[in-house]
């Protein structure tokens, strides 16, 4: 909540610059005046105050939106936040083209299906994104892109599955040095448990929908991760690299 703005309002009441009734109207609609908290685009209400509240601006989930809608929301977000880029995730290929056309400086990662408009923040802290298999890469790429865009350094380590433990051991020093580790795995989802028994770094597990039929679209690795016998594993939704990246970046910014 914007404390300063409230202070201004109350001082004006004390000064007689605004009547108590009028101030009342503003206040009953919410902690902030309606016209300040969001931008109404007709088809969407962009939350322009989210960065004030949570430290991070709103992000566009571009799947299911037209290219025009995504570009319009990115414009609104770009105006709101000066120090953070406007982001879009799950960007369809057609929308990616429209974003590049609208914003020449846009940074687009096609593997991650993500776009950032505006300069990336100076990174603090370090996050490792580990994948169990090559097929988990798109989810890991989303996690890595979002981590960087939310203000942390990021390093990717690919294809270090449990079936060959020495591949894991070879990267242990890198993992120990990180502020946070994101582990992306499908199929049996056993990698986070094994890693959590080896390292001290806080670990976020992301199940993916990759696998044979019994994977049940990612439910199998999700359950494995939620039941991890190594303590201290926390979990995001299936294929939700975005959520893992946001959490990891927040953690790394605080500790890095």
3-state secondary structure of 182: strand
Residues with Cβ within 8 Å of residue 186, at least 6 apart in sequence? 132, 133, 135, 136, 207, 208, 209, 210, 211, 215, 218, 221
Phi, psi of 54 (to 5 degrees): -110, 0
- The SS3 assignment for 175 reads helix
**Interface residue with its own copies, options 81, 100, 153, 255 (CB under 8 A):** 255
Which residue, 105 or 180, is less far from its own copies as judged by CB?
Answer: 180
Contact call for residues 212 and 248 (beta carbons, < 8 A): no
Identify the residue among 6, 109, 121, 124 touching its own copies (CB under 8 A): 6
Question: Least separation, in Å, of the C-beta of 104 and its own copies?
Answer: 26
Q: Which of 95, 97, 93 is nearest to 73 (CA)?
A: 95
User: 88 and 113 in contact (C-beta within 8 Å)?
Assistant: no
Binding mask 101-140 for its own copies (x = CB under 8 A): -------------------------------xxxx-x---
Quick one: tokens of 191? Answer: 């990698």
Q: Is 81 in the site for its own copies (CB under 8 A)?
A: no
Q: What are the two backbone dihedrals, phi and then psi, of residue 182, each rounded to the nearest 5 degrees?
A: -105, 125
Decide: is 30 part of the binding site for its own copies (CB under 8 A): yes
Closer residue to its own copies (CB): 14 or 104: 14
User: Is 7 a residue that touches its own copies (CB under 8 A)?
Assistant: yes
Nearer residue to its own copies within complex by CB, 29 or 105: 29
Q: Tell whether residue 10 is a contact of its own copies (CB under 8 A).
A: yes
Identified binder of its own copies from the candidate list 83, 97, 101, 232, rule CB under 8 A? 232
69 binds its own copies (CB under 8 A): yes
Contact 109, 141 (CB under 8 A): yes
Q: Does 97 engage in binding with its own copies (CB under 8 A)? A: no
> For its own copies, which stretch binds (CB under 8 A), given 36-44, 74-82, 97-105, 114-122?
36-44
For 96, phi and psi rounded to 5 degrees?
Answer: -60, -40
**Contact present, 109 and 138 (Cβ < 8 Å):** no
Taking residues 192 to 231 in sequence order and writing x for each that binds its own copies by CB under 8 A, - otherwise, the string is -xx-xxxxx-x-x----xxxxxxxxxxxxxxxxxxxxxxx
Q: Quick count: other Cβ atoms within 10 Å of Cβ 153? A: 17
Question: Least CB distance from residue 208 to its own copies, whole Å?
Answer: 8
Please give the residues from 48 up to 67 whose contact with its own copies meets the rule CB under 8 A. 49-50, 53-56, 58-59, 61, 63-65
Contact (Cβ atoms closer than 8 angstroms) between residue 143 and residue 171? no
If one asks whether residue 94 binds its own copies (CB under 8 A), the answer comes out as no
Site for its own copies in 158-177 (CB under 8 A): 158-167, 169-170, 172-173
């Amino acid at each position: 909540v914007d404390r300063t703005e409230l202070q201004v309002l109350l001082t004006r009441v004390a000064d007689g610059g605004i009547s108590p009734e009028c101030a009342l109207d503003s206040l009953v609609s919410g902690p902030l005046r309606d016209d300040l908290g969001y931008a109404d685009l007709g088809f969407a209400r962009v939350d322009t105050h989210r960065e004030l509240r949570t430290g991070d601006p709103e992000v566009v989930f571009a799947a299911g939106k037209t290219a025009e809608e995504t570009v319009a929301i990115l414009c609104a977000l770009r105006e709101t936040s000066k120090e953070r880029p406007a982001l879009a995730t799950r960007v369809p290929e057609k929308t990616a083209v429209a974003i590049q056309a609208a914003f020449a400086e846009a940074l687009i990662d096609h593997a991650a299906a993500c776009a950032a408009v505006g300069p990336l923040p100076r990174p603090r802290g370090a996050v490792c994104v580990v994948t169990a298999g090559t097929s988990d890469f798109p989810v890991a790429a989303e996690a890595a892109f979002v981590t960087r865009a939310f203000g942390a350094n990021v390093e990717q380590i690919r294809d270090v599955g449990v079936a060959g433990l020495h591949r894991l051991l070879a990267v242990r020093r890198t993992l120990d040095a990180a502020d946070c580790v994101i582990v992306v795995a499908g199929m049996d989802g056993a990698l986070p448990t094994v890693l959590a028994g080896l390292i001290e770094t806080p670990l976020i597990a992301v199940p993916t929908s990759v696998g044979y039929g019994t994977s049940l679209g990612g439910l199998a690795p999700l359950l494995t991760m939620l039941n991890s016998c190594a303590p201290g594993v926390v979990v995001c939704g299936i294929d939700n690299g975005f959520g893992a990246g946001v959490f990891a970046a927040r953690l790394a910014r605080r500790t890095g």
